[in-house]
Structure 1
Amino acid sequence: MAHIHGRKTRSGHGLLGDMDFTANTDRRKAHPDELDTLHREAIDWIVRLTSGESTVEDAERLKVWRARSMDHERAFRRASTAWRKTGGAATTAPHAPRMSRRLFLAGAGAGGALAAGWAGVSLGLLPGFGQIMADYSTGTGEQARIELPDGSTVDLDGASALDAKFTNASRGVRLITGAAAFELAPDARSFQAVIGSGEITARNAAFVVTMSAGSTLVECMRGTVDVTCNGSVRLTAGQRTSFDAAGLSAPEAADIATAAPWRQGLLIFENRPLAEVVADINRHRHGRIVLTSSTLGQRRVDGVFHLARPDEIVTNLANSLKLRLIELPGGLSLLA
């Protein structure tokens, strides 16, 4: 099984707590009856998470349960894998997660402005189910380095999630959300990365993928990568392309020095839509920024923000665009 080495003194699934399975887990061999019990408990967690009634408190309790031992973690992974293989994602009722009483009360003071400003907007108060069920994931503001079975490494950005599937004949991953930097090990097997409606194929190469609100950016750092989405392009080192449901953009020059700036503790935006900027910031900063209108999301942004000073990011963003900042309970910030 691949090891995941976390940054900021953590390792393991970022969304699910600071779990160090190499040092702090119960190493004793579990009795078969205990494993059966864990399997049933893991299934109960899957049922609860897919019920449409899960709360933030449920996510916190799951974090504690998975961190109890490697047997707990393995049981949950097996249950989640079985759930996906049986098509559970397609058959689960599409209920929105229920807001817990604690979070509901925290936001109750927003009144009519809250309802008007956030109509149709996902607040992201709960991690997505895909993130919870992923093979590897990070929480808001966390980063992790993943070692894949073939020797390749993946730097996973904040609030990101990745599934991996390796066989004797293939190497493959699926980036569910967020951003990741891939450093591929030489191998006779091609490496395939599925990202939304697109796919990346490479062998001995390095590339960065950033999923945003409306599109996905691919930057080639080393070697060559083929990107497919209603067409295909080949990128060489120092080139980038973006894609959405409509297809691919033409390759253009990329600044390798500024690719994946989050690895250096920075967020760098050049002529980016505000909606994408906000989505990116929300992955790195605890709390939530919400735009009160879709028109605001179309405004273009240039700027450099320091992740070590997260409280300054929203204020600087509002000041630079001359927007009104409304701070609400629960770490919610409206930009109007």
Structure 2
Amino acid sequence: MGKETTDPLVIEALEWLVRLRDDKAGEEVRRAFQTWFDQSEAHVAAWEHAQAFWKRFDIVQPEIESIRNSQKFLNRRNLLLGGGAALVGTGGLYAISRSDLFADFVTDIGERRTWTLADGSLIELGSYSALSSNFTETSRQFELHRGEGFFDVAAASKRPFSVNAAGGTTHALGTKFNVKYVGDLVTVTASEHAVMVRVGASSPAKIEQGWQLSYSKSGLGNVTRVDLGSIEAWRQDRIVFQDVPLRRVLTELERYRQGRIILTSKSIGDIPVTAIFSTKQPEEALQTIADTLPIRILHATKYVSFVYSV
């Protein structure tokens, strides 16, 4: 998204823009903004960038609606301001192809599905997930492109079962395990028996039943004990958070609703959240967070919501 998301002053300007659009903003807020605005020419330029960025939403929204209505096979979130998946410029809106576009198993936003494989194994995918498969006579390999999957593996000692995600591989040593790939983080949980996780050239880590680890490009994290009921709550259309940073909670909620949720302040992203939400009511969950934490939410358009501090 360019300068709008990397320049700290532009981010500050966006937060001021959001505050000023709030119906509850009083004269004190306006005076504070004027003080900020008058500090330097850089602040003025940042304000202009923020205004241009905001106006872009109104331009993008009708194009997104048109594309969604005419091309159902395209991934909706790929068309929206995220991860380099869309570009908005003089030529309009361009969708960039993704490796998950022709995945074998796909769920839409808010959808949860289960498949039975030819070998008897079961795969359940959560909201907004995509999985590719490569079955051969000697192996059962999968690639999780995004989202979350629960795997109940049928025994076949001569055909190893593994799931790749973000450069790491989870090998089934038993029956059941869960893999979640959201943002740049992959989290693997052993639900029954054990799994082995390997990332790059690092030594593999064994995860026993009831334990979990996460990994990213920086390598493997620590193995920790977890409550399996909470981890697998998504299979009963619930998500459970226990002292989870707000930024991760919002990223999770994005998987269950249309559009983006943008934090205007890094500091509020660290606020811990403990709650249980229904995946069928993501808007109510978002509002509950706003009602219980020192934050507010401004829905700029149907597809973009800003979260900012009170």
> How would you bin the TM-score normalised by the shorter chain?
0.5 to 0.7
Query: Do 1:213 and 1:275's aligned partners in 2 also have CA atoms closer than 8 Å?
Result: no
Map of 1:167 onto structure 2: 136
Distance in 1, Cα, partners of 2:95 & 2:238: 25
2:169 is aligned with 1:199: yes
Q: CA deviation at 1:143?
A: 0.9
- SS in structure 2 of the partner of residue 192 of structure 1: strand
Structure 2 CA distance for partners of 1:280 and 1:95, relative to 1, 3 Å = closer
Does residue 294 of structure 1 match 2:266?
A: yes
Q: Does 1:240 align with 2:209?
A: no
Correspondent of 1:321 among 271, 293, 296: 293
Whether contact under 8 Å (2:230, 2:239) holds in the other structure is no
SS in 1 for 2:101: helix
1:63 aligned to which of 72, 96, 102: 72
Residue ranges of structure 2 left out of the alignment (5+ in a row): 1-62, 75-82
Native 8 Å contact 1:182 1:208 kept in 2: yes
State the alpha-carbon separation in 1 of the partners of residues 223 and 252 from structure 2: 23
Structure 1 residue 173: deviation in Å? Answer: 0.2
The CA deviation string for residues 28-69 of structure 1, in whole angstroms up to 9 with x for no partner, is: xxxxxxxxxxxxxxxxxxxxxxxxxx966445434379xxxx
Task: Tell me, in whole angstroms, the C-alpha distance in 1 between the residues paired with 2:72 and 2:207.
Answer: 40
Moved more, 156-165 or 214-223: 214-223
- Structure 1 residue 249, shift from structure 2 partner: 2.1
Residue in structure 2 matched with residue 266 of structure 1 by the alignment:
238
Residue aligning to 2:86: 97
Matched residue type, 1:243: Y
Residues matched between the structures, number: 234
Amino acid at match of 2:113: A
Distance 1:299 1:213 in 2: 18
**Structure 2: distance between partners of 1:149 and 1:203:** 20
Is 2:141 aligned against 1:132? no
Partners of 1:226 and 1:200 lie apart in 2 by 6
Once the 2 structures are TM-superposed, how far is the Cα of residue 170 of structure 1 from its aligned partner?
0.7
- Aligned amino acid, residue 130 of structure 1: S
Q: 1:303 aligns with which of 239, 256, 275?
A: 275
| 1:224 Cα deviation after fit | 1.2
User: What does the per-residue CA deviation read over 1:279-328, in whole Å, with 9 as the maximum and x for residues that have no partner?
Assistant: 11011123432211333333322211122333211111122221011122
Scaled by the length of structure 1, the TM-score of the pair is: 0.63
* Equivalent of residue 183 in structure 1, options 152, 172, 176: 152
Gap runs ≥5 in structure 1: 1-53, 66-93, 105-124
Taking the TM superposition and a 5 Å limit, the aligned residue runs for 1:67-146 are: 96-98=85-87, 129-146=98-115
| Cα deviation digits, residues 133-183 of structure 1 (max 9, x gap) | 212111111111122232211110111110100000110001000111111
Letter in 1 for 2:124: D
Please point out which of 118, 136, 143 is paired with 1:149.
Answer: 118
The structure-2 alpha-carbon separation of the partners of 1:126 and 1:275, relative to structure 1 and needing over 3 Å to count, comes to farther
Render the CA deviation track for 1:111-136: whole Å, top value 9, x for unaligned. xxxxxxxxxxxxxx979733322121
Deviation string 1:233-285 (CA, Å, 9 cap, x unpaired) is: 11111111111112222322121122221111111112222222111101112
RMSD between aligned alpha carbons? Answer: 2.9
Counterpart secondary structure, 1:130: coil
Q: Which residue of 2 aligns with 1:332?
A: 304
| Alignment partner of 2:203 out of 228, 231, 246 | 231
Query: 1:111 aligns to what?
Result: none
Match for 1:211 among 156, 161, 181? Answer: 181
Judge which range, 55-64 or 302-311, deviates more. Answer: 55-64
> What is the CA–CA distance in structure 2 between the aligned matches of 1:132 and 1:180, rounded to whole Å?
17
Larger radius of gyration: 2
Q: CA 1:240–1:56 in 2, change beyond 3 Å: closer, same or farther? A: same
SS at 2:288's partner residue?
helix
Q: Give the match's secondary structure for 2:138.
A: coil
| Aligned partner of residue 311 in structure 1, secondary structure | helix
Relative to structure 1, the CA distance from residue 203 to residue 168 in structure 2 (aligned partners, 3 Å threshold; closer, same or farther) is farther
Any conservation in 1 of the 2:85–2:95 contact (CA below 8 Å)?
no
Q: Percent identity?
A: 26
Q: 1:215 to 1:95 in 2, by over 3 A?
A: closer
Q: Which has the higher strand share?
A: 2
Residues 270 and 301, structure 1, Cα contact 8 Å, conserved in 2: yes
- Contact 1:265–1:306 at 8 Å: present in 2 too? yes
Confirm or deny: 8 A CA contact 2:86 2:96 kept in the other structure: no
Distance 2:84 2:229 in 1: 43
